[in-house]
Amino acid sequence: MTQISVPVVRNILQANERLAAANRKRLEDAGIYAVNLMSSPGAGKTSLLERTIEHLGGRIRMAVIEGDLQTSQDAERIQSKGVQAVQINTDGGCHLDGNMVQIAMDSLDLGHLDLLIIENVGNLVCPAEFNLGEHDKIVILSVTEGDDKPSKYPVMFQQSSVLLINKIDLLPYIDCDVEKIRRDASRLNARLEIFAVSCRTGEGLEAWFSWLEKNVQEHKK
C-alpha cells in the first residue's frame, strides 16, 4: 500500500497557499471580490448562481469559474445568462486548487469585473482545505441531505463565512430539522451567517443578495 507522508501533504498545502496569495493580490489589485462556493453534488450551487446573476447582473459585473469532474454543462448554463464563465474539469480531482484558478483567471477580462464566483467541485471534504485566493467561502447545504452534516463535516462549516440552507420548499415532505442545522453550524462557527433559502421559489434569497452586494461594494477600488 502506498502511503503519503505528512511532510509531502504539508508541502502541497504550502505550495497552494503561495499560489492562492498571488491570486488574492491579483483580485485585490483589480478591485474584485471573490467567493468560493462549495457544497455536495446536487445541493444547488448552479441554481443559486443563476438566481444571483438574474438578480444582480444588471448592477454587478460578474464572472464564474466552474469546477467539475467532467463536462461543461454548468458553464454553459451560466454563459446562457450573459456572463463570463470558464470551465475547469479536474478529471477525477475532488477539489479546485490555486493553480487551476490562476490559469482560469487568465481567460477572464478582470478589468471589467466586480465579482468572481468560483463554483468548486461537489464535495463536503476537500474543497474546504484548499485556499484559492477567495475572500470568503460559501457553503450550501440542501435540506434533502439531512440535518447531521455540520457535525459530520465540521471543517467545511468552520472555514465558511456563509451557510445557505437550500431547498426549504421541500421541508413539508422530508425529515430535516433546520434549527438543528443552525445550532450545530453556529457552535462550530459563531461568525457564520446563515440564510434559509429556496432557489426554486426564491424564498429567502433577498438576504443572500444583500449580503453579497454589500461585500462587493466594500471591495471595489
pLDDT tens for the chain, 221 residues long, are 444 444 544 566 788 899 999 999 999 999 999 999 999 999 999 999 999 999 999 899 999 999 986 666 777 888 888 899 999 988 778 899 999 999 999 999 999 999 999 999 999 998 998 999 999 999 999 999 999 999 999 999 999 999 999 999 999 999 999 999 999 999 999 999 999 999 999 999 999 999 999 999 998 86
- Amino acid 2: pLDDT: 45
Model's pTM, two decimal places?
0.91
Q: Are 68 and 87 in contact (CB under 8 A)?
A: yes
Class of the CATH domain delimited by 6-219: alpha beta
Helix axis angle, 205-219 to 45-56, nearest 10°? 70
Query: pLDDT value at position 221?
Result: 65
Provide the angle, in degrees to the nearest 10, between the axes of the packed helices 6-30 and 98-105. Answer: 30
* Per-residue CA distances from 22 to 114, 190, 205 (Å): 18, 29, 32
At residue 69, φ and ψ (nearest 5 deg) are: -65, -45
Question: What is the distance between the alpha carbons of residues 190 and 187, in angstroms, rounded to a whole number?
Answer: 6
Are the CB atoms for 185 and 194 separated by under 8 Å? yes
Work out the burial of residue 56: count CB atoms within 10 Å of its CB; fewer than 13 is exposed, 13-18 middle, 19 or more buried. middle
Amino acid in the structure at residue 195: F
